[in-house]
């Protein structure tokens, strides 16, 4: 390799690393500013969502699959959700905020069990598909049942992402990315504040 090629290769590596670090710092700064801007929580009596029924897969707390069932969607006012969840989980699960990385209770949870929706108790993820992504958020390569989560396009923050929500109550859980491990190649990057862990 010529010296000029070696220098160019080193410059490209430094530029890529610099962009990665700047992007990470910018994301962390945005989340911090977002948290400050939400210091006062507005919770109206308005009910959001569309009434109806959904089909989910039910699970025992030990992860045993019980089968599909059709259940009514859970709709409540913002005030009722805030009273049930508290400020932090309300902002994340009901207002699509994001918790700071490495602060949630379940990003370092390694026991066997399942993760349920904090809002409606629907089974969402199994510890068997959880992996350490190094991001500071609990990460999974697939949901416990695809029927239990809904995905939709999210173009906030000036980028296109795929948001993940609980199918029964529409709680914001996080986002899914295509940089995960085998067998799916997906990384479901979730917020601890939207889920509760049930040890088996």
Examine residue 183 and say whether the peptide bond preceding it is cis (omega within 30 degrees of 0): yes
Architecture in CATH for domain 53-199? Beta Complex (2.170)
Is 189 part of the annotated catalytic residue set?
yes
Delimit the domains of the chain by residue range.
53-199
Calpha distance 106→193 (Å, rounded): 9
Question: Quick one: pLDDT at residue 47?
Answer: 79
The predicted structure's pLDDT at residue 41: 66
Question: For residue 76, how far is the Cα from the chain centroid?
Answer: 21
Ordered per-residue pLDDT tens for the chain, 200 residues:
545 455 445 544 444 444 444 445 445 544 544 444 445 567 667 777 789 999 999 999 999 999 999 999 999 999 999 999 999 999 999 999 999 999 999 999 999 999 999 999 999 999 999 999 999 999 999 999 999 999 999 998 888 999 999 999 999 999 999 999 999 999 999 999 999 999 99
Output the pLDDT for position 50. Answer: 83
C-alpha 127/C-alpha 144 separation (Å) is 9
Which member of 119, 166, 169, 189 is catalytic?
189
Task: Note the pTM of the prediction, 2 decimals.
Answer: 0.78
Beta strands in 81-194 (DSSP E): 113-117, 123-126, 130-131, 139-140, 149-154, 161-166, 172-177, 187-190
């Amino acid at each position: 390799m010529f010296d000029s090629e070696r220098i160019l290769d080193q410059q490209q590596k430094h530029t890529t690393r610099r962009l990665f670090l700047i992007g990470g710092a910018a994301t962390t700064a945005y989340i911090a500013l977002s948290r400050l801007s939400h210091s006062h929580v507005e919770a109206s009596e308005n009910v959001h969502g569309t009434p109806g029924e959904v089909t989910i897969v039910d699970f025992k707390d030990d992860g045993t699959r019980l089968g599909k069932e059709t259940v009514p969607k859970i709709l409540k006012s913002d005030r009722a959700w805030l009273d049930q969840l508290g400020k932090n989980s309300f902002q994340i699960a009901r207002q699509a905020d994001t918790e700071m990385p490495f602060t949630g209770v379940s990003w370092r949870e390694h026991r066997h069990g399942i993760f349920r929706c904090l809002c409606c108790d629907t089974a969402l993820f199994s510890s068997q598909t959880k992996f350490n992504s190094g991001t500071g958020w609990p990460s999974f390569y697939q949901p416990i049942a695809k029927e239990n989560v809904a995905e939709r396009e999210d173009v906030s923050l000036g980028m296109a992402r795929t948001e993940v929500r609980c199918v029964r109550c529409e709680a914001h859980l996080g986002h899914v990315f295509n940089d995960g491990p085998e067998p799916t190649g997906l990384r479901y990057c979730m917020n601890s504040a939207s889920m509760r862990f049930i040890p088996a």
